[in-house]
Amino acid sequence: MIRIDTPMAPPEWALLERQLLKSQSEACEAFYDHYFDDNGYLLCVPRWGGDDGPDDAAENQLNWTMLHALGGSDSVLALFKRGWEGHLRQYTEAKTVEVDLARDGMYYKEFPVMFDWFHNGEGYSAFNLQGLSDPYDPTMQIRARRYAGFYTGEDPQADNYDPEHKIIRSCFNGSRGPLLRKATGLDWAGDPIEIEGRFRLGHGERSYQEMVDHFKDYNDIVGDNPMNLNTTVLALNAYMLAHEDKYRDWALEYLDAWCDRTKENGGIIPTNIGLDGTIGGECGGRWYGGIYGWGFTVTVPQTGALAHRTYSHTRAINGFGVGTILTGDQKYADTWRGVIDYINANAREIDGETKWPNAYGDYFGEEDWYDWKDQPFSSGAMEVWYWSMNRDGLSRVDSDPWVQYLEGSNPDYPSTVLKGALERVRRDMAEVAADTCSPDSRLSDDMNHINPAKTGPLTQLMLGGLPTGRVGSPLYCRLRYFDPANQRAGVPEDVAALVESLTEDSVTVSLVNVNPIESRNVTVQGGAYAEHEIATVSVDGQPDQSVSDSAFTVELSPGCGAKLELKTKRYANQPTLTFPWDRAL
């Protein structure tokens, strides 16, 4: 154990951090009381679809598991679990009438019967992080293995994966297997519903017909799509429970097949793979085909405007993150770096200015790049830089305020962003208090924006990590903390942490105990899942102390703190959800 007994007046960032953990925790309790019943059911009209569906309902507890893992109150985790149980029951009981996919329940085996991973990833974002705080919960473990089994071939009712061609056979997939026909607007929009005077739709539709029209071109779902790479997060979660090789092997087999396809396609990831394994095989050979593919442009029904919804890449990126966590192999970061380079190499001079494309296809009559922007394509650039810590990639992310802080040019960032987050809690709670609508006139996504667990700033500052957001990702971070006295995840009461710089092989973090009376012990772990090895620790510039482990414990005397520099070996260990003190047994 490392003892720190240097007095430190509580820095502003530390007091703000502690206040934000407290305020968000209390706000989650108030939010739950307002929007959930005693059974954990959401007080809304449950619906199926991509406009307002089960994923939106689950997003009302987005980041709650992350908040607890940071050090939020135990009530946050308890309420999440109650709400998650209610959610699974509510949407298993909810059935469609006209949409044939969900007539027996929108969920089966506690999972969507079949839908796309743009939405499934959103709905399962909080569950995917439950293991950070709750790895020993037997129900969570059963579900993690069951969900992964829908894709590894273990469940005969969920014939999603073709091991011969290494594809997931449709964009619509789940616990009842793949949908192997073209999707319709009805499949996406859900059953007819009264709109005018009753509901406010998030996409601005004014009628049910406009809801159907919103999705009228969302047809090409057969075959594989890089969005499906989000399923590898399920395999990662199952693998980290007990290191059963079958989950790791499947995730890497599937991901490596996508790396090979990207190489075969000249360096840009294709967005449709046919049932026969060929690139573009279900879209007439068009590698850019498929829903949310590189050529996915549709018409907004209420305005007639074109909308370029080439969103597959925003979900595919997590598969490459899973591969990095599992192996430390930089080929995954390199593959996505190549995609970014490929797209930006097609910049053009347009009206005397350099423009960069964001889409490719034949929507306008002939194959070409389009959707030109003033800035280079950068989707996934933050992840690529973070996974690789390659200084060559810094120029793509150096306009980000957090990166500027890590690089020493934005010293006020912690206080500024924490104050802003506290103000956001106040605004969210004001909106909650003002919401007097009845449950039968409320859709499940009406209150998504005022869910008070907005953990991005805390994840950056405390963990030196990337915000998990709403895309179903695992946690990418350099450090994580545990409370050994209470045997739980998250910083102990009164402890604050600030990651001040990152390099490929080092982390600088300040730890402080704001309590002037009592000592606090905090366990510091390398990475979200102990994937990083901590070689040495230097306290306030003193000689290095050897650690040679994935975690170590610090005793912080009352009112004391210090700056620690950690030398690390990234991705040296297989990821695990087991708490540090149990790994030592």
Give pLDDT, residue 153.
Answer: 97
pLDDT in tens, 363-386: 999 999 999 999 999 999 999 999
Residue 82: partners with Cβ closer than 8 Å, 6 or more residues away? 36, 40
Pairing of strands 306-308, 348-350: unpaired
| Mean pLDDT, residues 389-410 | 96
Residue 246: partners with Cβ closer than 8 Å, 6 or more residues away? 152
Spatial strand order of the sheet with 2-4 comes to 2-4, 551-556, 520-526, 479-483, 488-489
> Does the pLDDT value for residue 501 go beyond 80?
yes
pLDDT in tens, 39-67: 999 999 999 999 999 999 999 999 999 99
Instruction: Using pLDDT thresholds of 50, 70 and 90, give the confidence band for residue 3.
Output: very high
| Mean pLDDT, residues 525-548 | 98
Instruction: Using pLDDT thresholds of 50, 70 and 90, give the confidence band for residue 585.
Output: low
Give pLDDT, residue 203.
Answer: 77
pLDDT in tens, 135-167: 999 999 999 999 999 999 999 999 999 999 999
> Does the pLDDT value for residue 116 go beyond 90?
yes
Give pLDDT, residue 202.
Answer: 78
pLDDT in tens, 66-87: 999 999 999 999 999 999 999 9
What is the chain's length? 585
Distance CA 331, CA 256 (A): 10
| Mean pLDDT, residues 318-341 | 98
State phi, psi for 12 to the nearest 5 degrees: -60, -40
Alpha helices in 37-175 (DSSP H): 54-58, 64-70, 74-93, 117-123, 125-128, 130-133, 138-152
Which 3 state secondary structure label does DSSP give 28? helix
Give pLDDT, residue 405.
Answer: 98
| Mean pLDDT, residues 113-129 | 98
